[in-house]
Structure 1
Amino acid sequence: MTEVEEPAPPPSNTYIIRPNFQHKFRPVIVKECIHTVLQEQLAEKQYQADEVMEWTKKISDDIKGRLKDMGYDRYKFIVQVVIGEQRGEGVKMGCRCFWDSDTDNYAQDIFMNDSLFCVAAAFGVFYY
């Protein structure tokens, strides 16, 4: 006899419009998480154009997974990872966000070695 899995119940509405202080997105802690992932994933790597797409996906998935494990309830995460080759040229990056500055925030970190640079940013947006 086969077992039939029942669908998960829909999330209940808690009417919480702000996270409590302990559950707010904390950029300092998130930056440490990003830094750890970048060191683990890129410490021994040399730039290879054909593998960069795979690296960015793996790094962003790893960061997003660790953020979910941190217990930021009702936050949605956006993780952006950019990897480029070190050629001695400058790079400028920017972003703009329309959000609630009381609950939403971001953290970023930069990794560089002799052959590549990586900028990773994680945005935490509270889901009302």
Structure 2
Amino acid sequence: MEESATYTIRPNFKDKFRPSLVNDMIYKVLKESLQDKQYSSEAETWCKDITDHIKRNLKELDLKRYKYIVQVVIGEQRGEGVKIGSRCLWDTDTDNYSQGLFINDSLFAVGVAYAVYYY
């Protein structure tokens, strides 16, 4: 007898990426990492460390077959406006993103995590 193989091309509802949960996590990581900091040339290092921290937290969600892309931008707070935009070509049923924003007197930080389901 042959066994028939099954292949799931969509995650179950409970295994989907949940932006609302990840938004809070990103904000907490940004706040913990930057709340006592003043903007300086170390911002590049902070971005790398925060990005790694967010990626570790995403992997702990244990969402099977999701791949993550994380981007963190830190800038000096000077009272000027900043706009950040992105575009993605993806499956709106399975793929999604989350973002978090942190601001103090010296700096602003935006963290974005993209979750792409790997077929």
| Cα distance in structure 1, aligned partners of 2:117 and 2:6 | 14
Structure 2 residue identity aligned to 1:89: E
Is residue 2:8 matched to residue 1:24? no
Give the superposition deviation at 1:62: 0.2
Q: In the alignment, residue 57 of structure 2 is paired with which amino acid? A: R
Write the distance in 2 (CA, Å) between the matches of 1:127 and 1:41. Answer: 30
Identity level (%): 60
Q: CA deviation at 1:25?
A: 0.4
Distance 2:37 2:8 in 1: 44
Which segments of 5 or more consecutive residues in structure 2 lack a partner in the other structure? none
Task: Give the aligned residue type for 2:100.
Answer: D
**1:21-100 map, 5 Å:** 21-48=13-40, 50-100=41-91
Q: Distance in 1 between matches of 2:8 and 2:46?
A: 37
Per-residue Cα deviation, 1:64-98 (whole angstroms, up to 9, x for no partner): 11000011110000001000001111111100000
Q: CA deviation at 1:106?
A: 0.3
Deviation, 1:14, is: 6.3
For residue 7 of structure 1, what is the aligned residue in structure 2? Answer: none
Dislocated runs of 4+, deviation >3 Å? none
Aligned pair 1:117/2:111, yes or no? no
Alpha-carbon separation, structure 2, partners of 1:65 and 1:53? 19
Partner of 2:97: 106
Q: Compute the TM-score of the two structures, normalised by the length of structure 1.
A: 0.87
**TM-score for both structures, normalised by structure 2:** 0.93
Amino acid at match of 1:62: H
Number of matched pairs: 115
Q: Structure 2: how far apart are the matches of 1:86 and 1:36?
A: 19
Q: What secondary structure is seen at the aligned counterpart in 1 of 2:108?
A: strand
The two structures, once aligned, show a CA RMSD in angstroms of 1.2
How big is each residue's C-alpha offset from its partner over 1:43-67, in whole Å with a ceiling of 9 and x where there is no partner? 111101x201100000000001100
